Amino acid sequence: MNDQKFNVAVVGATGAVGEQILSLLDKRDFPISRLKLLSSARSAGTNINFKGQDITVEEATPESFEGIDIALFSAGGDVSKELAPHAVRHGAVCIDNTNAFRMDPNAPLVVPEVNAEQINEHNGIIANPNCSTIQMVTALKPLQDVYGISRIIVSTYQAVSGAGTRAIDELLRQSKAVLGGTEVNPDILPVASLPVKHQIAFNAIPQIDKFQDNGYTLEEMKMVRETKKIMQDDTIDVTATCVRIPVVYGHSESVYVELKKDYELEDVRKLLTEAPGITIMDDPASQTYPLATDAAGKPDVFVGRLRRDLGENRALNMWIVSDNLMKGAAWNAVQIAEIIAAKRSARS
């Protein structure tokens, strides 16, 4: 141990994920020398208190990253694409929460519980996976290690916070309208940049992000591609159906997983109980299983409803819940930052 400290930049500091990143850097006592808060021109000028000190948010520009050691990006893919290369040029390691570099073969896509060793292979940019992928691969990694995985079929129950603070506001506003009997006027969801909007209050919308040519949405294809990349196995068949539901924080997932070997349910339970980052909540007798409202604000991935598939003997079904802004975004990014910091401290 030594007392090396780092110059840290948070890009998208005023967003839903940025807020959580700051909260975690504070709680975890991340070794910060200088903290730079960056945002779009629109949000620049805001003051944010960090450990008793007011920090003014500055507009992110290519030169914002001079002297920065670690830059955490969560301001949208376009911002990352434009500015991360500049941060790298200035010598920073970028941890990018957006979709910009996830499938870039030069950027490792990292969930520390799954492939922490790949952090070392970066060329300046480490990609943080999509929220719905992170919680799933964290829960499945222990099974992959012991049994191998041949197939995953997942249906998601995703919180609106995954679409940002404006989507949270929209759900609350629409819910009040429905309860009060006034007009709902969808404005943001399912996809802010697309023309058609649907009511999310008291509804379930089977579209997250834009449709691709194969009939799947981008969110679904993220789960497919990212899972293979993080688990480093292109032979795993993955199919996803991603659905937005009226929940504020916490994605839930109904996951069918087919293993390559026979298994005993008790062994699977033991494996998951001992695995890092996972909390098992699975006791039908006491009606115990993971719930989004319980997971909110917590760093762990919660797993329950473990049971053998009724058709395929080598498959099982489970229910995986995690706070999409925490393990699904901010906490996974801060975990990566901590590993980088620990490595540099050990080296110096």
Which residues are designated catalytic? Answer: 131, 251
Letter string b/e over residues 91-130, b meaning 16 or more CB atoms within 10 A of that residue's CB:
ebbbbbbbbbbbeeeebbbbbbbbbeebbeebebbbbbbb
Map residue 259 onto helix, strand or coil.
strand
Helix residue spans in 10-58 (DSSP H): 16-27
d(CA 340, CA 120): 8
Q: Which of 4, 40, 165, 203 binds a copy of itself (CB under 8 A)?
A: 203
**Contact residue for a copy of itself among 4, 165, 199, 345 (CB under 8 A):** 199
Spatial CA neighbour of 247 closest among 313, 297, 296: 296
Q: Which is nearer to a copy of itself, 48 or 243 (CB)?
A: 243
Q: Which is nearer to a copy of itself, 224 or 340 (CB)?
A: 224
Report the residue number, 155 or 345, with the smaller CB distance to a copy of itself: 155
Rounded to a whole number of angstroms, the minimum distance from the CB of residue 250 to a copy of itself is 8
16 in a labelled binding site: yes
First to last CA, the chain: 10
The smaller minimum CB distance to a copy of itself, of residues 77 and 206, is found at 206
Is 80 annotated in a binding site? The answer is no
Cα three-residue angle 37-41-42, rounded to 5 degrees:
105
176 lies in the binding site for a copy of itself (CB under 8 A): yes
* Beta bridge mates, 303: 280, 320
Residue 278 Cβ, how far from a copy of itself at the closest point, in Å? 17
Positive or negative, the CA dihedral 19, 242, 271, 151 is negative
C-alpha to C-alpha distance for 341 and 343, rounded to whole angstroms: 5
Contact residue for a copy of itself among 155, 164, 339, 344 (CB under 8 A): 155
Given 52, 105, 181, 311, the residue binding a copy of itself (CB under 8 A)? 311
**Coil, helix or strand at residue 293:** helix
Determine if 169 is a binding residue for a copy of itself (CB under 8 A): no
Q: How many residues can be counted in the chain?
A: 348
Interaction of residue 307 with a copy of itself, rule CB under 8 A: yes
Of the ranges 10-18, 88-96, 139-147, 148-156, which one interacts with a copy of itself (CB under 8 A)? 148-156
What distance in Å separates the CA atoms of residue 303 and residue 281, rounded to the nearest whole number?
A: 6
271 makes contact with a copy of itself (CB under 8 A):
no
Question: Of 204, 233, 274, 297, which lies in the binding site for a copy of itself, with binding defined by CB under 8 A?
Answer: 204
Region binding a copy of itself by CB under 8 A among candidate stretches 24-32, 59-67, 121-129, 243-251:
243-251
The annotation status of 324 as a binding-site residue, yes or no, is yes
* Residue 40 lies near a copy of itself (rule: CB under 8 A): no
- Tell me if 72 sits within 8 A of 20, measured CB to CB: no
Q: Where are the beta strands (DSSP E) in the chain?
A: 6-11, 32-39, 47-50, 53-56, 58-59, 70-73, 93-96, 125-127, 149-157, 237-241, 251-259, 278-280, 301-308, 315-322
Q: How far is the CB of 157 from a copy of itself (least distance, A)?
A: 5
Per-residue string for binding with a copy of itself, 179-198, x by CB under 8 A?
x----------xx--xxx-x
Query: Which one of residues 252, 279, 332, 335 is an interface residue with a copy of itself (CB under 8 A)?
Result: 252
Known binding residues for phosphate: 102
Q: Which residues bind a copy of itself (CB under 8 A)?
A: 151, 153, 155, 157, 171-172, 175-176, 179, 190-191, 194-196, 198-199, 202-207, 211, 214-216, 224, 237-239, 241, 243, 245-248, 252, 254, 256, 284-293, 304-312, 317, 319
